[in-house]
């Protein structure tokens, strides 16, 4: 069958688990049969909640719906789910049926096409606006700076001008970030090389910042790490953006864990062997309704942010033929997975 079929009885025990379901959930049927579904799917709390909700309300019996599942190893799948019930009159009990189809590839393609369309339109618009804003803004900044130098005997006015210049600097940084995103300063230059230097340089930059903000940084690196086809400067920028975002999410301190390891094709976001860089924090987390939009330009819940950091990370990862995913729970932190393809033949 081209879909998973799982049945459970009224006591909550799995009574059927077909081969398609084994492939989707990476669980052997023999390990599932006869056991409570809460135990079988112990690492998938969201999926257990879906089953609980159906058994209680019978929601989803008429129309299929989509459910995102994030597995403990970082894999994310989108499942099309349909429920049904068989009534056994002689035994006076119900058998619950779950029909599951893995539509992850289709959803990724839809999201990729939709995002590409948005970015093409945004890039053309953003580049034009940014160029038009930069020249007059530079003129205003120079004039105010000159005025500031002439008001040597008026400290109050000088302070107001200084604050205005700081705000202009912020606006110029936003414009520069927008131009970097819409019109990259240089094309990506991919070469086969080890990633060790990129990791070492990036962690060197954030260690002191973590110490100053009472954040415990732990780095776990599997050995040996494979060679990748990468651009060191751009990949360092992507990783640094992820780490800085995590640090900003923990203003009162916390834990920042980075794990770098090789994952097999069946575990990878790419369906091929990959190097995975996982960045996990214990910060405020991301609301579930925001997750589909966090890689879009200008989407941010940070009142002082411009919403370009993660958009740039996403673009850099795609330039490296990789994938990035996120899992988060409000109040408990967030984890970003960045999978990069291993250089073939090396």
pLDDT reported for residue 247: 93
Counting every residue, how long is the chain? 346
Q: What rounded mean pLDDT belongs to the chain?
A: 83
Are 311 and 197 in contact by the 8 Å Cβ rule? The answer is no
Segment 19-35 mean pLDDT:
90
pLDDT reported for residue 125: 64
180/195 Cα distance (integer angstroms): 24
Percent of the chain residues past pLDDT 70, beyond the cut: 85
Q: Tally DSSP H helices, then E strands, for the chain.
A: 9, 12
pLDDT reported for residue 320: 92
> Of 233, 216, 194, 219, which Cα lies nearest the Cα of 278?
219
300/310 Cα distance (integer angstroms): 10
Q: Locate 152 and state its tokens.
A: 């040597």
Residue 224: asked if its preceding bond is cis (omega within 30°), the reply is yes
Poorest-pLDDT segment among 31-45, 136-150, 213-227: 136-150
- Strands 254-263 and 215-221, by their bridges, are parallel
Does the pLDDT at position 256 exceed 50? yes
Residue 57, C-beta contacts closer than 8 angstroms, at least 6 positions apart: none
The model's pLDDT over 184-241, given as tens digits with 9 standing for 90+, comes to: 545 678 899 999 999 998 998 898 889 989 999 999 998 788 999 999 988 998 999 8
Question: What are the CA-CA distances from residue 266 to residues 142, 167, 205, 272, 311 (Å)?
Answer: 57, 49, 34, 7, 27
Residue 292 DSSP label: G
Element (H, E) at 16: strand 14-17
Residue 240, C-beta contacts closer than 8 angstroms, at least 6 positions apart: 202, 205, 206
> Of 338, 332, 324, which Cα lies nearest the Cα of 259?
338
The model's pLDDT over 81-97, given as tens digits with 9 standing for 90+, comes to: 888 888 777 777 788 88
Residue 120 DSSP label: H
Q: Locate 24 and state its tokens.
A: 């989707």
335/206 Cα distance (integer angstroms): 17
Does the pLDDT at position 282 exceed 60? yes
pLDDT reported for residue 116: 60
Does the pLDDT at position 316 exceed 60? yes
In this prediction the pTM is 0.56
pLDDT reported for residue 346: 46
pLDDT band for 340, please (50, 70, 90 cuts): very high
What is the phi/psi pair of residue 148, to 5°? Answer: -60, -40
Helix (H, G, I), strand (E, B) or coil at 295: coil
Helix (H, G, I), strand (E, B) or coil at 101: strand
Does the pLDDT at position 321 exceed 50? yes
Bridge partner list, 197: none
The model's pLDDT over 64-82, given as tens digits with 9 standing for 90+, comes to: 888 888 787 767 788 888 8
Are 103 and 80 in contact by the 8 Å Cβ rule? The answer is yes
pLDDT band for 127, please (50, 70, 90 cuts): low
- Buried (b) or exposed (e) across 140-172, using 16+ Cβ within 10 A? ebeebeeebeeeeeeeeebeebeeebeebeebe
26/28 Cα distance (integer angstroms): 7
Q: Locate 63 and state its tokens.
A: 């129309």
Q: Which domains does the chain have, with CATH numbers?
A: 4-102 (3.30.450.20), 108-182 (1.10.287), 191-341 (3.30.565.10)
pLDDT reported for residue 129: 66
The model's pLDDT over 179-192, given as tens digits with 9 standing for 90+, comes to: 666 555 456 788 99
């Amino acid at each position: 069958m081209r879909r998973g079929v799982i049945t459970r009885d009224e006591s909550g025990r799995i009574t059927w688990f077909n081969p398609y379901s084994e492939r989707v959930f990476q669980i052997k049927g023999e390990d599932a049969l006869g056991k409570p579904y809460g135990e079988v799917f112990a690492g998938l709390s969201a999926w257990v909640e879906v089953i609980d909700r159906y058994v209680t309300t019978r929601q989803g019996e008429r129309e299929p719906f989509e459910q995102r599942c994030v597995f403990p190893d970082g894999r994310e799948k989108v499942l099309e789910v349909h429920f049904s019930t068989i009534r056994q009159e002689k035994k006076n009990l119900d058998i619950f049926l779950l029909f599951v189809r893995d539509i992850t590839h289709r959803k990724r393609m839809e999201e990729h096409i939709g995002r590409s369309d948005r970015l093409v339109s945004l890039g053309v618009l953003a580049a034009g606006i940014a160029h038009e804003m930069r020249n007059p803004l530079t003129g205003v900044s120079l004039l105010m700076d000159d005025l500031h130098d002439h008001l040597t005997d008026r400290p109050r006015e000088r302070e107001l001008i200084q604050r205005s210049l700081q705000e202009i600097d912020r606006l110029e940084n936003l414009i520069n970030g927008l131009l970097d995103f819409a019109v990259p300063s240089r094309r990506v230059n991919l070469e086969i090389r080890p990633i060790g230097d990129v990791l070492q340089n990036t962690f060197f930059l954030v260690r002191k910042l973590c110490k100053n903000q009472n954040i415990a940084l732990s780095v776990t690196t599997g050995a040996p790490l494979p060679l990748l086809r990468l651009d060191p400067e751009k990949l360092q920028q992507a990783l640094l953006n992820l780490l800085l975002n995590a640090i900003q999410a923990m203003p009162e301190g916390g834990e920042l864990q980075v794990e770098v390891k090789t994952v097999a094709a069946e575990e990878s976001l790419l369906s091929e062997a990959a190097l995975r860089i996982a960045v996990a924090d214990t910060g405020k987390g991301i609301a579930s309704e925001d997750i589909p939009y966090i890689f879009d330009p200008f989407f941010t819940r940070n009142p002082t942010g411009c919403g370009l950091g993660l958009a740039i990370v996403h673009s850099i990862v795609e330039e490296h033929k990789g994938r990035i995913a996120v899992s988060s729970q409000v109040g408990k932190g967030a984890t970003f997975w960045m999978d990069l393809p291993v250089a073939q033949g090396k």
